[in-house]
Amino acid sequence: MSEPSREARADALLSTERDERNHRLKVFLGAAPGVGKTYAMLSAARELKRQGVDVVVGLVETHGRSETAALLDGLEQLPRRSVNYRGRDFSEFDLDAALVRKPAMLLVDELAHRNLPGGRHERRWQDIAELLDAGIEVYTALNVQHLESLNDQVRRITGVTVRETVPDAFLDRARDIVLIDLPPRELIARLKQGKVYVPETAAAALDAFFSPTNLAALRELAVDTIAGHVDSDLREHMLARGGAMPVRRRVLAAIDGQAQSEYLVRVARRIAERRGAPWSVAFVDTGSTLDKARRERLESAMRLARRLGGDTVVLRGHAIADELIAHADREGVGQIILGRTRERVVARMLGRSLTQLLLRRGAHLELTIIATPTERAQARRKLRLVGMPGGVGRRGEYIYATLATLVAFALSFVADRYLSVANLSLIFLTAVLVVAVRTRMAVAVYTAILCFLGYNFFFAPPRYTLEIANFDDVLAVSLFLIAALVCSRLATRLASQVESLRAAHVYTRALLALGQRLATSTDADGIRKVGADALAQALRCEVAILARAADGNLQVAAAVPREMALLTQDLAAADWCERHAEQAGRYTDTLNAAPCWTLPFGNEENRRGVAALRFPKGNSEPDPDQRSLALAMVQDIGQALERARLGDELEGARVQGETERLRNALLSSVSHDLRSPLASMIGSAGTLASYGDQLPAGERRELLEAILGEGQRLDRYIQNLLDMTRLGHGTLKLDRDWTDATEIVVAAVNRLRKLFPSLRVETSLPHDTVLLFVHPALIEQALFNILENAARFTPADEAVQVIVHSSDGKLLIDVSDRGPGIPEAERALIFDMFYSVSRGDRATQGTGLGLAICRGMIGAHGGSVEALPRDGGGTTIRITLPLPAPPDAPP
């Protein structure tokens, strides 16, 4: 016993609170039919009705019992859904009507009922699960023989196989379980009085199911089930309140696909329930090929484990014991449950059994060996080599082994003239190896024995008898048999390992290829297309990926083949799958009439769509490897879609932040760069208006020039804003024409000299004509912005240099100043809009737009702009433009 941690107590307390809030199921559990489950359920419902609770009857079967039918008076009943099945009309529980009505408490009888085809779910317990998820409290009734984990025990007790079962995990959702029971004598008396079945059926039931022994055994099962749930609830409540509880270790059932696999799963469920421990089922794939019957039994056992609430895992490796122990150590397993399927004589012949290996290597584990008389008898009759790679083998494999042995005999008779008797054994040994590599262990042993007997009879002296003349020949023949058996086992194990590695390689390669292709897809549409292609290629089926459209309906976003059409059943299954984040359609118990198997991307909190897989009609259910691969690929695609969504949100947040930054910068720039010239213009105009006649002509001229200069400055600023708007919206029109680069530079320099008359500008222009196919006005404006920026940072006694030259088919225009320079980390930032660092494109009269506009205009012509350091201090802004072929040049 150990004290629970604070975290464990907190988890248990939260679990208890969730149970109080979410568990809205009450089950009236009967030890046998006719004990009064429905009567007790209706009585409890009427009591709630008297207390003012909104009680509605969804479905109740009275079976003609008048006292039960009388309890329905005064209770609202939902109309049933009509179903036509094989030409006959039936009525079923209407799940949709119940969801629309949504009462506080709903009565739904016969929890284990199997719905007729055409409904949303295959079983009624699934209907009730959806009601519970919708927040509706449900009362229901169930007989103990319908519990999935007790199916084998009920069959062994009564001789009757119950087909309609309910997973034990569903019963875990019950808030209350009420045991309804009658002593066997009273129940038999009710049966004879016709209160359970009609007289004709009652007579047959008395002779079969309703014997006193059977009823007593069923009562014991019911009490044991209730006790297990009470014990589990008690543990949770004690842990929530800080009580000491034993450490719970996981229970692991190891199955091999033989007939006892489902029985082991049910035993594991019961043991885990009593211990209150998590449990799982494992199968070790040694690489050997399973026959169809064994594979189907394995898949059936795995499905049963999942229905009962356990986890399933497929391990890969040639050493079963080592794989189980390694998995137990990783997952915290305390108990391993095994089936006794190998007899001692086989264990002695082939080495230690799986049980012996586990006992020797897993001393820290608790082993439970489950023996079934049927399986032991069957194992003795067939001498199955369970636990060895490959199993018994098929008839064709024995024929192949016989032919290989005959070929070895023929070669030995030919070689007998040239080789010694000892060397002939190598031919037979080769035959054993060939058979061992291509078949199973039992077939290889069969081949080794045939070769041993033939070698002894035909070639070991004295020939044509099984007697051996001398000791040396006895030793040679014995060593041959030992070598043949050892080599056959090693060869079979090697072949099994290769097969296992091949399967693992296919699995890994498919996931790796998917991951590589997803890594190159940045948007959701691309991810869906890549995912559909990868699923279709790996699983060899048709694939459609559906996503919610703006109108809320699921639509096909990607499909392989593209013309794949989904039926109405497929769309209904996909919609249910996406809303509940659970599998639906084919190979499931929900809407299994749909041809497609639908798998959800994401979970209920993050729904990312659905993958619909359509396998050919003749295909059986996907094996565990295919199912595991499909689920893993769907999970990877869902995670990629979630990453794309987060990326979009992050980009949206970045854009929003950038927009906010630009808005603030724009407001700051407008408040400064509009108010400053306007204030100067207003001041000059006000002075002229008030004192114009009194001012000398020179001062009046200075004021007018100030108004003109500030107006031109304001005009340039507004033009920059308009140019940035056109660049941002992509509406800047390029009216290209052939022009001389020297003319553009001279025009820009002349504009600069008008704005800065005292500035010295030094130019170095090419002697030859350099033609550009550009929009001349835009290139001139871009160059002027750079010149203006350089002029503002150049000291009064320094000159701005403009150098024009060509290199590698490009025209380079360098504008250099002797300003303070720009740090390397900020050279790329000066081309951002409203860059406001004083050393960049923002002096006392800068707008913060000049270089940003320059980059946009030059970039529209296929060129670039960059900032470079200048030797001796200062900055060089370089414009690079492509030089196209002259218009008169030959093509």
What is the pLDDT, as a whole number, of residue 881? 92
Answer yes or no: are the C-beta atoms of 787 and 800 closer than 8 Å. Answer: yes
DSSP code per residue over 20-41: HHH--EEEEEESSTTSSHHHHH
Reported confidence tier of residue 87, pLDDT bands at 50, 70, 90: confident
Distance of alpha carbon 828 from the chain centroid: 42
Q: Hey, CA dihedral for 854, 860, 863, 867, is it positive or negative?
A: positive
Of 397-401, 450-454, 489-493, 837-841, which gets the smallest average pLDDT?
837-841
**Section 125-130 average pLDDT:** 91
Per-residue DSSP letter, 145: G
Model confidence at 16, pLDDT cuts 50, 70, 90, reads low
Q: Closest Cα to residue 289, out of 298, 302, 280?
A: 298
- Alpha-carbon separation of residue 854 from 615, 662, 724, 778, 857 (angstroms): 59, 18, 10, 9, 5
For helices 292-307 and 624-673, what crossing angle results, to 10°? Answer: 50
61, pLDDT greater than 80: yes
User: Residue 480 — pLDDT band, cuts 50, 70, 90?
Assistant: low
Could you tell me what percent of the chain has a pLDDT over 70? 78
pLDDT at 298 over 90: no
Percent of the chain with pLDDT over 90: 12
Collect all residues with Cβ–Cβ distance below 8 Å to 133 and sequence separation of at least 6.
580
- Cβ atoms of 661 and 655 within 8 Å: the answer is no
Q: How far is CA 203 from CA 32, 89, 587, 802, in A?
A: 16, 29, 40, 114
Residues paired with 584 in a beta bridge:
598
pLDDT in tens, 547-582: 988 888 888 889 988 888 888 888 888 988 888 888
* Enclosing H/E stretch for 146: none
How is residue 818 written in tokens? Answer: 């002797």
The pair of three-digit structure tokens given for residue 813, joined into one six-digit string: 């225009």
Q: Looking at residue 729, what is its pLDDT? A: 54
| Res 793 pLDDT > 70 | yes
CB 814 within 8 A of CB 801: yes
- What is the chain's mean pLDDT, rounded? 78
C-alpha atoms less than 13 angstroms from C-alpha of 510 in its C-beta half-sphere = 26
What DSSP state is assigned to residue 848? S
Mean pLDDT within 397-416? 84
Q: How far apart are CA 428 and CA 433, in angstroms?
A: 9
Per mean pLDDT, which range of 25-34, 56-65, 233-242 is the poorest?
233-242
Q: H or E element: which one contains 766?
A: none
pLDDT reported for residue 837: 47
Backbone angles phi, psi at 85, to 5 degrees: -130, 115
pTM: 0.53
pLDDT digits (tens, 9 = 90+) for 713-757: 777 667 766 665 665 555 566 778 899 999 999 988 988 888 788
pLDDT for 145 equals 87
Does the pLDDT of residue 368 top 80, yes or no? yes
pLDDT single digits (tens) 795-839: 888 889 999 998 888 999 999 988 888 887 777 777 766 555 444
- Please tell me the least confidently modeled range out of 26-35, 206-215, 251-260: 206-215
Burial 789-800 (b: 16+ CB within 10 A, else e): bbbbbbeeeeeb
593 HSE (CA, 13 A, CB side) = 12
Q: What is the mean pLDDT of residues 771-790?
A: 85
**738 bridge partner residues:** 773
Whole-number Å distance between alpha carbons of 422 and 265:
52
pLDDT band (50, 70, 90) for residue 17: low
DSSP per-residue string spanning 605-674: SSEEEEEEEE--TT--PPPHHHHHHHHHHHHHHHHHHHHHHHHHHHHHHHHHHHHHHHHHHHHHHHHHHT
Sequence-distant (≥ 6) Cβ neighbours of residue 767 within 8 angstroms: none
Q: Across the beta sheet with 799-807, what order do the strands follow? A: 760-764, 799-807, 810-817, 875-882, 864-869
State how far the Cα of 182 lies from the Cα of 188, in Å rounded to an integer: 10
**Mean pLDDT of the region 126-144:** 91
Q: pLDDT higher for 319 or 887?
A: 319
Give me the sheet containing 554-560, strands edge to edge. Answer: 554-560, 542-548, 607-614, 597-602, 584-585
Averaged pLDDT, 22-48 = 87
Q: Supply the pLDDT for residue 3.
A: 47
Residue 333 phi, psi dihedral angles, 5° rounding: -80, 135
Q: Which of the pair, 550 or 103, is modelled with greater confidence? A: 103
The helix (H) or strand (E) run that includes residue 760 is strand 760-764
Is residue 711 within 8 Å of 703, Cβ to Cβ?
A: no
Q: Phi and psi dihedrals of 144, rounded to 5?
A: -65, -30
Is residue 562 packed enough to be buried (19+ CB in 10 Å), middle (13-18) or exposed (0-12)?
exposed
Give the per-residue pLDDT at 76. Answer: 92
> What is the reported pLDDT for 361?
77
Element (H, E) at 135: none
* pLDDT given for residue 807 in this prediction: 86
Residue 622: count other Cβ atoms within 10 Å of its Cβ: 19
C-alpha distances out from residue 403 to 392, 398, 409, 458, Å: 18, 9, 10, 17
Say how many C-beta atoms besides its own lie within 10 A of residue 256's C-beta: 24
Question: How remote is the C-alpha of 661 from its chain's centroid?
Answer: 39
Q: Is 776's pLDDT higher than 50?
A: yes
Average pLDDT (853-878) is 84
C-beta separation of 707 from 686 below 8 A? no
| Phi-psi category of residue 797: left, alpha or beta, with phi > 0 → left and psi -120 to 50 → alpha | alpha
Is it the case that residue 474 has pLDDT exceeding 80?
Answer: no
Using alpha carbons, select from 255, 275, 257 the residue that is nearest to residue 265.
Answer: 255
Tokens (6 digits) for 551: 């109108």
133, 580 contact by CB (below 8 A): yes
Nearest Cα to Cα of residue 815 among 865, 755, 757: 865
Compute the distance between CA of residue 34 and CA of residue 31 in angstroms, rounded to an integer: 9
Residue 344 vs residue 10, higher pLDDT: 10
Tell me the sheet residues that pair with 30.
143, 180
Residue for token digits 């002797």? Answer: 818
List of residues 6+ apart from 673 with CB closer than 8 A: 717, 845, 847
pLDDT given for residue 11 in this prediction: 55
The tally of CA atoms less than 13 A away on the side-chain side of residue 683 is 9
Question: Distance between CA atoms of 501 and 636, rounded to whole angstroms?
Answer: 22
Mean pLDDT is lowest, of 35-39, 650-654, 668-672, for 668-672
Say if residue 287's pLDDT is above 80: no
| CA dihedral of 375, 377, 383, 384, whole degrees rounded to 10 | -10
Contact indicator for 313, 282 with CB cutoff of 8 Å: yes
List the structure tokens of 5.
């941690």
Residue listed under structure tokens 């002349």:
750
pLDDT higher than threshold 90 for residue 379: no
Question: pLDDT value at position 694?
Answer: 80
| Rounded Cα–Cα distance for residues 234 and 162 (Å) | 31
Residue-wise pLDDT for 690-722, tens only, equals: 887 788 888 888 888 888 877 877 776 677 666
